[in-house]
Amino acid sequence: MSDPGNDASSIANVVGLGLIGGSVCLALRRAGWSVHGIDSAEGRAQEALTRGVVDAVGISTHARVTFVATPVATLVEGVRWALGSTGGVVTDVGSVKSPVAEAVDDPRFVPGHPMAGSELDGLEGADASMFEGATWVLTPTASTSDEAFSLVAEVVSSLGAEVVALAPSSHDRLVAVVSHVPHLTAAALMGVAATRSDEHAALLRLAAGGFRDMTRIASSRSGIWLDICGENRTAILDGLDDLIDGLRSMRTSIDEGNTEALRGRLDDARRARMNLPSKAGAIEDLTEVRIPIPDRPGAAAEVFTLSGDLGVNIHDFEVVHSVEGDKGVMVIVIRSEHVDLFRGGLLARGFRPATHPLS
């Protein structure tokens, strides 16, 4: 898939040309795809054509892959429409995955969510390099075919993203903690400061870097967050409850002057923050793992889910087909230090991996 540019199978559709949809278009075009795009907003697709974001207005029924990048509230409808209108694989970029994964039952559908964004809105903020180094979660369902999963994993991997496969419900619980609850918290903090600033004009001038960093995400538009809070309600309520418990417990420690309890909490947080995996894709000691895809459904997704469970980063991914037209071989690049762990997991699940150090 490294050069999709020379045949009829190099066409991709993008439905919904906002910040993420527009960025998908630009990244696909840079990777050699011919991109067809549409948007429900009048004139938006034409504008995208003028700006060089898409190659054509409309969607191609021959497209190998269609990305649905409509707002969360119209996602199910958009995905169903794309499946009905094209013969290829369909994926989406919605921030919440269970509702769409449960509503759509089709081997050609691979639910997805790129963990990337920008403070900008709309086509103006679209950026071909938005997904470089970003994590792109795929949440295959029981119906998703191996071929569909592998194709989407390969395409988003070629856009520079690292693919992580998760069950839809796991995804939703995890993003509640690393994205949705933090967003609400930034808004709540900003709310406390804004109330006080009515009393004292100097307040916001005192806001140094830490406060600016913490509240930056509160400056995004509310619309998408209202949808997300509706769609991922249960996981967000759980996350908020945990956060409120944590804050109340700190409050008690401070109130009672219990320095040791507070120290324990702050030290634990410090350690966890310092262990946050870096996204920097350093040129490091890498190993190629080749895994023949067995003739049973869901195998490709299973390999990715396993890598996520084991905490093994996938640096690069490709499916290689032999001339015999078999199911192909997954070629996965990981850090050499993770090879034994990953091999062990693969063997335990019945895969037959072969490893080749790249350096």
How far apart CA 58 and CA 17 sit, in angstroms, is 12
Which of 6, 205, 280, 325 contacts a copy of itself by CB under 8 A? 205
What is the phi/psi pair of residue 232, to 5°?
-115, 35
Q: How far is CA 314 from CA 17, 89, 93, 297, 338, in A?
A: 28, 22, 20, 21, 10
Contacts with a copy of itself: how many residues (CB under 8 A)? 97
**Distance in Å, CB of 279 to a copy of itself, minimum:** 9
Residue type, 29: R
Contacting residues for 58 by C-beta, under 8 A, at least 6 apart: 36, 37, 38, 45
Q: Give residues 215-244 in contact with a copy of itself (rule: CB under 8 A).
A: 215-222, 225-226, 229-230, 233, 236-237, 239-244
Is residue 100 within 8 Å of 76, Cβ to Cβ?
A: yes
The footprint of a copy of itself on residues 280-319 (CB under 8 A) is: 308-311, 313
x/- mask, a copy of itself, residues 113-152, rule CB under 8 A, reads --xxx----------------xx-x---------------
Is residue 71 within 8 A of residue 41, CB to CB? The reply is no
Radius of gyration of the chain (CA): 22
Rule CB under 8 A: say whether 341 interacts with a copy of itself. no
C-beta of residue 14 within 8 angstroms of C-beta of residue 36: yes
The yes or no reply on residue 73 touching a copy of itself (CB under 8 A) is no
Which range in 13-21, 96-104, 185-193, 345-353 contacts a copy of itself by CB under 8 A?
A: 185-193
Site for a copy of itself contains 352 (CB under 8 A):
no
Asked if 20 touches a copy of itself (CB under 8 A), the answer is no
Nearer to a copy of itself, 39 or 162 (CB): 162
Residue 240 beta carbon to a copy of itself: minimum distance, rounded to whole angstroms: 5
